[in-house]
Chain A
Amino acid sequence: MLRVLSRQAFGVIRANYSSASAGGQVLNEELKKRIDGLVKASDVVVFMKGTQQEPMCGFSKNVKLVLDFHNIKFNDHNVLADAELREGIKVYSDWPTIPQVYVKGEFVGGCDIMISMHKDGEISDFFDEKNIPNKYGKK
């Protein structure tokens, strides 16, 4: 039963893309507009597995922890609850993995990049430059 359902779901997802592999895929206009809307709806947007209240992935949780540490508010989107978004955001960003962080509509990176920026002390400068209030930046 589950196998039939997932094959149907996969058919819907496939319909949104022009080719089978992630590289060189094209989003359909409706999905692209939807994602455009999501990334612009807030200064900081994270596409993650699970929610910021209950992350379902260690990498997604780490991104949430970094942003929380710096008191940065963000919109979260749970790709585990939205298969179309899960595949669509990878094509939209041309980035193969989740989580994905957008700041002021621009893709910044995933878990490795957020952690490395945090460890190198770059988060405050980065968010200051973007005029986003953050705990350790200039007020």
Chain B
Amino acid sequence: MSTAEGPVAKIIQEKLTATFQPKHLEVACESHLHNVPKGAEKHFRVQVVSDAFEGIRVIERHRLVNTCLSHELANGVHALRIDAIPTSKWTEGKQQDPSPTCKGGFGK
């Protein structure tokens, strides 16, 4: 997990906070695990716990997050792992699963 927060990570955090007023939020850049230049902010993992996700299907929860971050997704971020949990289903300390290993992608 990246400990330094880049500008894109900060924007993602702000947007998710403003849109979902989350009870719990984690934003992690994972580009260091992928086949991209150092310092790239192209792969993120987000865990959002919010009342906004109550009573809607998982695909709709993901679409809400995609819409919130549509600008970032259209401008550089090309992988986004989403864990969108309704508050009623949240267990304190529940970790998001680790991301799968990169298999090289487009770069060789």
Contact = CB atoms under 8 A, between A and B. Distances in A.
Give the interface residue-count category, chain B.
Answer: 20 to 34
A22 to B, nearest CB: 4
Q: Is the interface of A mostly helix, strand, loop or mixed?
A: mixed
B80 A55 contact: no
Interface stretch (A8-16, A27-35, A56-64, A130-138): A56-64
B32 interface: no
Interface string A50-71: 1000011111111000000000
Given A108-B59, A112-B82, A116-B58, A56 B104 contact: yes
Interface in B52-108: 58-59, 62-63, 66, 70-71, 73-75, 78-83, 97, 99-106
A81 to B, nearest CB: 10
A96 interface: yes
A22 B104 contact: no
Q: Is the interface of B mostly helix, strand, loop or mixed?
A: mixed
A95 to B, nearest CB: 7
B76 to A, nearest CB: 11
Given A97-B78, A113-B58, A115-B97, A57 B73 contact: no
A117 B57 CA distance: 11
A59 B100 contact: yes
A96 B67 CA distance: 9
Given A58-B103, A97-B79, A23 B74 contact: yes
